[in-house]
Amino acid sequence: MPRLPAMPALSVLSALLLMFLLALPVAAQQVTLTTVASGFELPLQVTNAGDFSGRIFVTERAGLVRIVRAGQVLAEPFLDIAGRVSTSGERGLLSVAFPPDYATLGHFYAYYADLDGNIVISRFAVSSAPDRADPASEEILLTIAHPNFDNHYGGQLAFGPDGYLYAGTGDGGGAGDPNGNAQNPDSLLGKLLRLDVESGPDPATGQVYRIPPDNPFAGGESPRPEIWAMGLRNPWRFSFARATGDLWITDVGQNSFEEIDMQPAGAAGGWNYGWNILEGDACFGADECTPPARYAPPVAVYGRELGQSVTGGYMHRGMYVFADFVSGRIFALRNQTGEWNLSVLAETDLNISALGEDQAGRLYLCDYAGGTLQRLRFPAAPTAAFSLLVLLD
Sorted by where each begins, the domain ranges of the chain are: 32-390
What are φ and ψ of residue 299, in 5° steps?
A: -70, -35
Give every CB contact of residue 381 below 8 A, 6+ residues apart in sequence: none
What are φ and ψ of residue 28, in 5° steps?
A: -75, -15
Question: 155 and 168 in contact (C-beta within 8 Å)?
Answer: yes
**Residue 381: which pLDDT band, with cuts at 50, 70 and 90?**
low
What would the pLDDT profile of 325-347 be if each residue is shown by its tens digit?
999 999 999 998 889 999 999 99
Question: 321 and 312 in contact (C-beta within 8 Å)?
Answer: no
The pLDDT of residue 186 is 99
Question: 258 and 282 in contact (C-beta within 8 Å)?
Answer: no
Question: 190 and 201 in contact (C-beta within 8 Å)?
Answer: no
Average pLDDT, integer, range 119-128 = 98
Spatial distance between the Cα atoms of 21 and 135, rounded to a whole number of angstroms:
47
Q: Which CATH class is domain 32-390?
A: mainly beta
Query: Distance of CA 308 to CAs 65, 134, 256, 371, Å?
Result: 27, 38, 8, 21
Average pLDDT, integer, range 205-228 = 97
According to DSSP, the residues that pair with 32 across neighbouring strands are 377
More confident residue, 393 or 176: 176
Question: 331 and 376 in contact (C-beta within 8 Å)?
Answer: no
What would the pLDDT profile of 305-329 be if each residue is shown by its tens digit?
999 999 999 999 999 999 999 999 9
Average pLDDT, integer, range 203-210 = 94
Give every CB contact of residue 386 below 8 A, 6+ residues apart in sequence: 24, 28, 343, 344
pLDDT > 70: percent of the chain:
89
What would the pLDDT profile of 22-76 be if each residue is shown by its tens digit?
433 333 568 999 999 999 999 999 999 999 999 999 999 999 999 999 999 999 9
**Residue 380: which pLDDT band, with cuts at 50, 70 and 90?**
confident
What are φ and ψ of residue 168, in 5° steps?
A: -100, 120
What are φ and ψ of residue 51, in 5° steps?
A: -110, 15
> How many C-beta atoms surround the C-beta of residue 105 within 10 A?
14
| SS3 track for the chain | CCCCCCCCCCCHHHHHHHHHHHCCCHHHCCCEEEEEECCCCCEEEEECCCCCCCCEEEEECCCEEEEEECCEECCCCCEECHHHECCCCCCCEEEEECCCCHHHHCEEEEEEEECCCCEEEEEEEECCCCCCEEEEEEEEEEEECCCCCCCCCCCEEEECCCCCEEEECCCCCCCCCCCCCCCCCCCCCCEEEEEECCCCCCCCCCCCCECCCCCCCCCCCCCCCCEEEECCCCEEEEEECCCCCCEEEEECCCCCEEEEEEECCCCCCCEECCCCCEECCEECCCCCCCCCCCECCCCEEEECCCCCCEEEEEEECCEEEEEECCCCCEEEEEEECCEEEEEEEECCCCCEEEEEECCCCCEEEEECCCCEEEEEECCCCCCCCCEEEECCC
Average pLDDT, integer, range 368-388 = 77
Question: 284 and 278 in contact (C-beta within 8 Å)?
Answer: yes
Spatial distance between the Cα atoms of 80 and 188, rounded to a whole number of angstroms:
27
Spatial distance between the Cα atoms of 41 and 175, rounded to a whole number of angstroms:
28
According to DSSP, the residues that pair with 72 across neighbouring strands are 69
More confident residue, 100 or 383: 100
Q: Examine the pLDDT at 393 and tell me if it is beyond 60.
A: no
Q: Examine the pLDDT at 5 and tell me if it is beyond 70.
A: no
